[in-house]
Structure 1
């Protein structure tokens, strides 16, 4: 494998860190094991990710949303602390959009993919993605962009209920808004009332025909692209369990070749001239077509699934090699490579328990038996870096105990515990993966 330029460090940027973000930990470990100095902007150094032995330094974000001007000042300050140019790798959509917009002012301090400043934002915007799919003739669920509450109700009737509602720019949602990025809408009135919250959401509402989920329906692609949209390394995979079930983050995933998914991803990146790391989510419909649901212009939590077994190359390592002018070795393709799965231990446990308690457990996709468990890669536990796993476990258990204690305190005497927070008289629906 080509040697890394270890004189060039990496800064990982995450503007919206959840408490248990194993994707950031995977990037830290991958780059740190290659001998690269890794810095990060995001959660507290006292959090699970900040405990990694491969992290050189964690820079904490100020409280609250970070506007472009303060973020530029922060990145300049971090650059001064690092002392030399660094590869900048955003780990969430907000960070990817901000980094692309600030690439000009950051020139000389950070190495970033050379591409149009608005391209990551176009890809992350759900309304723009629907337009791109129409232009590129890529399968995408039927989508309406209502201009009034009445149009929202009418579109709900035309698309069929239940349907999926999305805010086109979910990274603009704030905790105070009390809204989910994606919601399952069951009635025309729900669609009407949801549209009336547009101003609070900060972006347009999309209504989208729902594609039924099930075993072998949810697929994804991760890849790293260089000039002209050429793929340096990438592949397709299948989600096997999520938390919450069928609606949330991937708890267990498996790398599997899927020519239709891979062709769609390569076509999108090639047509747009995308450069950098890209993640895409697909759902297979009843006719066998793979609809593109979501695009993330940055590494996803599952990127370690797509590690070359012989060289150890993955998307974050490939990007570092590419941006520092090193040769990126040819990665082995997915067909014929050994099985590899990633398991987010905390979410996998919850999803397994929920599936076991379900009245009719979901059918297991082919190739998921215990005989193949030797290929599992854990998201948190690593023998050479155990502290993040221990910190995550402790934080996770403490969080669960706090919630349980609160419910016990608020339970009426001899009655059923009250919900942790007031529920609206008519809930708009449950969170639903697009």
Structure 2
């Protein structure tokens, strides 16, 4: 653990150029989903709070680590029925009344991004947020409609198909070959049972059949071509688009490690300027009339040397703090500047900044080590270069401590559950199930 505590350059980096933000206008970091380890909201609270912006946070649990940040002035612990849009709208209006002045809304999960686009019109007297095309967030979050959208716009993307049976999945595998990816169509519908994750790498027919024993014909699942990866192939793009869909800032970075390996969220990432990728994504955003913060995952396909779009998140990305430009602006700060009528400086990103997610990188590194892609020397070298940690910061320690406690508790419960299953007496149906 000491290796994680060495590179606390995040607080020092905050003492660089100070953007001219409107500190009289608060910010509300909004999360409607139930992911307790969403560190994106914590990053936004630190970015804005260190500049003197009053930050309020909305979450479903009082024990969520981001709510423990010293930079969160007010906490709104709330568990609305997200399908009841009137309830969500009225709750946010009550929050606005407590704050007492219009605030910038920063969505940090897909549910909040969809709600604001589709149902947020009545909130404009109380909050500042982009005027997004109402149907766009849902279309880009849904991985199947995203594929259809890319195909219509002639945007390079991976082959994707919605299948409702293992036979249909096997037909797709026969066309594109193994390995392939099995994905949940929209993230908040994750089944979270059996071998099915939001993203699962499948390497054979028997594995594919095992996954589909947990899939209903009504819901279906997405199967997706697997693009061969490698060092420097996995990229992410973070940006902010103003009311005219001009994307500034536009940041690019390389995903060095992910969890699960090669198929999950960033565990270790590095800021790296990629002008070709910036130009391609800016063109796509303009054609979509996109507005607001975004986070996109892209993979360079070595077979045709083209960048293929994998995921499009119409909200703050979890690893957004890896990016900062030479004026001290990241995407959360850019949103606050633009929505309060202040200019976003037209300057370049700072390259070479490294971001690490503590609770992801430990299992991710072990996974890469088992694959023969990482050794202790290279791991140590990579963590020594870290500029920004997802949870730990010298000036804001409580979120890190709470994250460790929650991760430890979850690991302990899983160990007890496995121990309990191992001690169950043998029954004939167990043999049949195998």
TM-score, normalization by structure 1:
0.84
> Equivalent residue for 1:72?
89
- Report the CA distance between 1:137 and its aligned residue: 2.0
- Report the CA distance between 1:239 and its aligned residue: 0.8
1:236-288 superposed Cα distances (whole Å, 9 cap, x missing partner): 11111122222222111001122332222112111112111111101122222
Query: Which of 59-68 and 172-181 deviates more?
Result: 172-181
> Equivalent residue for 1:360?
372
Alpha-carbon distance between aligned partners in 1 of 2:200 and 2:355, rounded to the nearest angstrom: 27
> Equivalent residue for 1:329?
345
Equivalent runs, 1:100-249 vs 2, <5 Å: 100-146=117-163, 151-173=168-190, 180-185=197-202, 186-187=204-205, 190=209, 193=212, 197-199=216-218, 201=219, 205-249=221-265
- Report the CA distance between 1:110 and its aligned residue: 1.1
1:252 aligns with 2:268: yes
Does structure 2 retain, via aligned residues, the 8 Å contact 1:88–1:110? Answer: yes
- Report the CA distance between 1:65 and its aligned residue: 4.8
SS in 1 for 2:343: coil
SS in 2 for 1:241: strand
1:23 aligned residue (28, 40, 45): 40
> Equivalent residue for 1:42?
59
Alpha-carbon distance between aligned partners in 2 of 1:311 and 1:22, rounded to the nearest angstrom: 24
SS in 1 for 2:106: strand
- Report the CA distance between 1:117 and its aligned residue: 1.1
SS in 1 for 2:121: coil
1:157-192 superposed Cα distances (whole Å, 9 cap, x missing partner): 223233223343333446589953333443397399
- Does the C-alpha gap of structure 1 residues 248 and 47 become closer, same or farther in structure 2, counting only changes over 3 Å? same
- Does the C-alpha gap of structure 1 residues 396 and 147 become closer, same or farther in structure 2, counting only changes over 3 Å? closer
- Does the C-alpha gap of structure 1 residues 17 and 31 become closer, same or farther in structure 2, counting only changes over 3 Å? farther
Alpha-carbon distance between aligned partners in 2 of 1:17 and 1:316, rounded to the nearest angstrom: 21
Does structure 2 retain, via aligned residues, the 8 Å contact 1:242–1:251? Answer: yes
- Does the C-alpha gap of structure 1 residues 289 and 362 become closer, same or farther in structure 2, counting only changes over 3 Å? farther
1:407 aligns with 2:418: yes
Query: Which of 293-302 and 140-149 deviates more?
Result: 140-149
- Report the CA distance between 1:409 and its aligned residue: 4.3
TM-score, normalization by structure 2:
0.84
1:356-377 superposed Cα distances (whole Å, 9 cap, x missing partner): 4x1623499xx99839944521
Does structure 2 retain, via aligned residues, the 8 Å contact 1:305–1:342? Answer: yes
- Does the C-alpha gap of structure 1 residues 22 and 228 become closer, same or farther in structure 2, counting only changes over 3 Å? same
1:316 aligns with 2:327: no
- Does the C-alpha gap of structure 1 residues 15 and 380 become closer, same or farther in structure 2, counting only changes over 3 Å? same
- Report the CA distance between 1:91 and its aligned residue: 0.4
- Report the CA distance between 1:93 and its aligned residue: 0.9
> Equivalent residue for 2:4?
none
Structure 1: gaps (5+ residues): 416-421, 427-434
Alpha-carbon distance between aligned partners in 2 of 1:383 and 1:389, rounded to the nearest angstrom: 10
- Report the CA distance between 1:39 and its aligned residue: 0.9
SS in 2 for 1:257: coil
Alpha-carbon distance between aligned partners in 2 of 1:161 and 1:121, rounded to the nearest angstrom: 29
Deviation above 6 Å: which 4+ runs of structure 1? none
Alpha-carbon distance between aligned partners in 1 of 2:39 and 2:337, rounded to the nearest angstrom: 23
- Report the CA distance between 1:49 and its aligned residue: 1.3
Number of equivalences = 409
> Equivalent residue for 2:3?
none
> Equivalent residue for 2:10?
none
1:95 aligned residue (106, 112, 128): 112
- Does the C-alpha gap of structure 1 residues 368 and 153 become closer, same or farther in structure 2, counting only changes over 3 Å? closer
2:381 aligned residue (357, 362, 370): 370
- Does the C-alpha gap of structure 1 residues 213 and 63 become closer, same or farther in structure 2, counting only changes over 3 Å? same
- Does the C-alpha gap of structure 1 residues 175 and 273 become closer, same or farther in structure 2, counting only changes over 3 Å? same
RMSD (CA atoms)? 3.1
Alpha-carbon distance between aligned partners in 2 of 1:229 and 1:359, rounded to the nearest angstrom: 42
2:289 aligned residue (266, 269, 273): 273
2:314 aligned residue (297, 308, 314): 297
